[in-house]
Amino acid sequence: MWDLSGKAALVTGANTGIGQGIALALADAGADIAAVGRSAATETVQQVRAMGRKAEMVMADLSSIEPVQRVVDETVDKLGGVDILVNNAGIIRRNDAIDFTEADWDVVLDTNLKSLFFLCQAAGRKMIATHRADGRIGKIINIASMLTFQGGIRVPSYTASKSGVGGLTKLLANEWALKGVCVNAIAPGYIATNNTVALQKDEIRNRQILDRIPAGRWGDPADIGGAAVFLASSASDYVQGHILAVDGGWLAR
């Protein structure tokens, strides 16, 4: 049920951190990988190929929807199809709500929500056209956030975008469940990546975070990868519109 052999997975933001962890986990389960990003995912591709899987880089800046159709078409051309889509690419801007700029609002919503939706649309069209005919099930996994559930502070556009990711995940599941596509999301907790180095090195803030996490540790990108394998595999064929928190118990505290 967990075997992804012969599956083609498109993973955005796959060059580092959570995206890389997901790409490597999917490859370890048997999938071939299209690693999408505005910077080259050379290390990810090398590691996937070392596992004996196909791996291709697809260069794209997802701050606009201009490259979306090309990203899906290149994945199909290079890997022979698209069975799994992981929408991981995202950005954040921080400022007090009273001082937040329109530019910081737009760039985050465009990347985190608008491009995500249109990637779902482009990949969903392929999956519905090809998978329904032969009985296979396409898998779309959106990366949500703790701020899909919580408000946060000083990140209004990020909170709005990730709340939107949760809503879109449910909407698409409602529309596409009968069309052979499962749509779910993963909400990572505090994960040790290059994006969180400053928090990890801040002794006071790091202690505050760890005190809140029942598991008593930061998450690892591999923790998110394991959840992605579940949602990408046939083990989750009856899971639809779910937002899976992988947070060491943060939300339960």
For residue 158, indicate whether it is catalytic. yes
DSSP class of residue 150 equals: S
- Please say whether the dihedral angle defined by the alpha carbons of residues 164, 167, 171 and 173, taken in this order, is positive or negative: positive
Integer distance in angstroms from the first to the last C-alpha of the chain?
32
The residue from 158, 176, 218, 250 that is catalytic is: 158
User: Which segments within the chain are labelled E, that is strand?
Assistant: 8-12, 32-37, 55-59, 84-87, 138-143, 181-188, 243-246
**Phi, psi (degrees; rounded to nearest 5) at 40:** -65, 130
Burial of 197 (0-12, 13-18, 19+ CB in 10 A): exposed
Structure tokens given for 168:
């879109």
Length of the chain in residues, anyone? 253
Task: Categorise residue 52: left if φ over 0, alpha if ψ from -120 to 50, beta otherwise.
Answer: left
Contact 169/184 with Cβ under 8 angstroms?
A: yes
Q: Is 14 exposed, middle or buried (0-12, 13-18, 19+ CB in 10 A)?
A: buried
Which residues have a catalytic role annotated? Answer: 158
